[in-house]
Amino acid sequence: MAMDYQLIGQRIAARRRQLQLKQSEVEERADLGYKYLSNIERGVSIPSIEVIMRLAKVLHTTPDEFLVGAELLPQNERWHSVAQKLQRMDEKHLMLAEALIDVVALQNM
């Protein structure tokens, strides 16, 4: 089975856009060189397995989603929305959000 690197790149780009992340943000988080992600997404560069793994981790999915199109189980939209907001927070705001979540979790609802 031949790998379709253009399709793999399209899947990576789709997931990145779904999370509303810029290429530069993903490159920084995955420790990739400048414009390397652009080349991968356009099918110009062939990513190593290590790079696929790092991208999957940064984009909160599995390598299968990129390689064969197998997505994680559908997530509740509210959960996804909260996760996107948390991703964009700095360390100080994440600590505050975590403390707030701890307080809410202790409430008997």
Indicate if 22 and 62 belong to the same structural domain: yes
In terms of residue numbers, what domain contains 51? 5-67
Across all residues in the chain, what is the average pLDDT? 87
49 within some domain: yes
Q: Compute the distance between CA of residue 45 and CA of residue 1 in angstroms, rounded to an integer.
A: 19
pTM over 0.75: no
Burial of 92 per CB tally in 10 Å (0-12, 13-18, 19+): exposed
29 within some domain: yes
Indicate if 57 and 32 belong to the same structural domain: yes
Q: What is the pLDDT of residue 1?
A: 61
Look-up: residue for tokens 């988080």?
29
- SS3 of the chain: helix, strand, coil, percent, to 5: 65, 0, 35
* Residue range 30-56: mean pLDDT, rounded: 95
Q: What is the pLDDT of residue 77?
A: 64
Q: What is the pLDDT of residue 73?
A: 47
Greatest alpha-carbon pair distance for the chain in Å reads: 54
* 3-class secondary-structure state, position 81: helix
